[in-house]
Amino acid sequence: MTSKTTELGIRGRSFESLKQLNEHGAEYWSARDLQPLLGYSQWRRFEQAVERAISSCKQSGNPSENHFAGAGKMVDIGSGSVRDVDDYHLSRFACYLIAQNGDPRKPEIAQAQKYFAIQTRRQELSDQAAADQERLELRKQTSEEFKALSGAAQDAGVQSRMFGVFHDAGYKGLYGGLGRDAIKQRKAIPEKDHLLDRMNATELAANQFRMTQTRDKLERERIHGQAEAIQTHEQVGREVRQAIQRIGGTLPEDIPPAEHIKEVEKRLKLATPKLALGGKDAKGLLGKQDNG
């Protein structure tokens, strides 16, 4: 599974340079070594991603014991002292799953997901399931970004009672003056439905970009004051809209409503796609030995 993609690494340490061999002659990575590479400063948080990856491995139809092995690691705690800490030995496939189950807001995770998408065999998904997975992931990321933007707005001086006005300003900038309610009316979306739940992947990506850029601008320029924060959100929304126009994209108010995201979740759960691994990839930490 070689690749011509840019090496995954940080501060001079690359993913491939961290590879070790076990007694079966199989390659493996220490979770403790991988932790900083994926942008985690706390082991507790990283271990949660490992646990989600183990669950994902089982759901994909691959034995988790072939790819995740509990282990200990001696670490230097200063003054010449060492301490034994919990660790995992991970196959290449396990590293891929951890990246897929990591915090999507971390740039290191985003880089790792691109790296492993080529390094590891792709899921056997139908075109519909692949599109569903992309949209569901974007919806989750947009939800996280919405929360982060609300926090940034609060730090900038937006009062809780004005959050609705603040978020509506972003919509108005991006949707040519239409606020949330006007967008739902234009697209005939029921009042009970959350607007983000009825956006397709393209529309979600545009809104996520609007939120991310607004949050960064509020923090970078140290904007403080309710009116200025609201104005900033609308301005960023307008600039994202102008970028869409320049490249000839479909304006967001003209994108038809997508089916409710809950229907997408149901369909994916029923599909339970398998991840087909063969040869040494399936054996993982067991190398070439017979697993019978």
CB of 55 closer than 8 Å to CB of 123: no
Residues 52 and 174 in one domain: no
- Provide the 3-class DSSP secondary structure of residue 139: helix
DSSP notation for 6-73: PPPEETTEETGGG-EE-TTS-EEEEHHHHHHHTT-S-HHHHHHHHHHHHHHHHHTTS-GGGTEEEEEE
User: Residue 147 CB: number of other CB atoms within 10 A?
Assistant: 11
Domain range for 137 is 127-270
- Please tell me the distance from the alpha carbon of residue 194 to that of residue 184, in angstroms, as a whole number: 9
In a domain, 32, yes or no: yes
Residues 217 and 131 in one domain: yes
- Cα(193)–Cα(198) distance, integer angstroms: 8
In a domain, 197, yes or no: yes
| Burial (0-12, 13-18, 19+ Cβ within 10 Å), 40 | buried
**How many domains are there within the chain?**
2
Q: What is the pTM of this model?
A: 0.56
Residues 115 and 169 in one domain: no
- Let me know whether 113 and 168 are in one domain: no
The residue among 262, 266, 278 whose CA lies nearest residue 61 is 278
Neighbours of 9 (CB within 10 A): 16
Phi then psi for 160, rounded to 5 degrees? Answer: -55, -40
The whole-number pLDDT of residue 78 equals 57
276, two tokens: 């087909």
- DSSP code at position 77: E
Q: Tell me if 2 is assigned to some domain.
A: no
- In a domain? residue 1: no
pLDDT, one tens digit for every residue, the chain (292 residues):
333 334 555 455 688 889 999 888 889 999 999 999 999 999 999 999 999 999 988 888 889 999 999 876 655 555 555 566 789 999 988 998 999 898 888 888 888 887 776 554 444 455 677 788 889 989 999 999 999 999 999 999 999 999 999 999 999 999 999 999 999 999 999 999 999 999 999 999 999 999 999 999 999 999 999 999 999 999 999 999 999 999 999 999 999 999 999 999 888 777 655 565 666 777 788 876 544 4
Instruction: Please check whether residues 81 and 161 belong to one and the same domain.
Output: no
Give which of 170, 211, 208 is closest to 199, Cα–Cα. Answer: 208
The answer to whether residues 73 and 87 touch, using CB atoms and an 8 Å cutoff, is: yes
d(CA 204, CA 181): 17
Note the helical H segments in the chain: 31-37, 43-59, 92-100, 107-119, 127-155, 163-174, 180-186, 201-220, 226-246, 261-271, 280-283
Using CA atoms, how far residue 170 sits from 167, 192, 243, in Å, is: 5, 21, 15
Residue 3 lies in a domain: no
> Cα–Cα distance between 151 and 273 in angstroms, integer?
36
193 and 58 both lie in a single domain: no
Asked if 80 and 138 sit in the same domain, the reply is no
Are 200 and 175 found together in one domain?
yes
Q: Is there a single domain that holds both residue 157 and residue 261?
A: yes
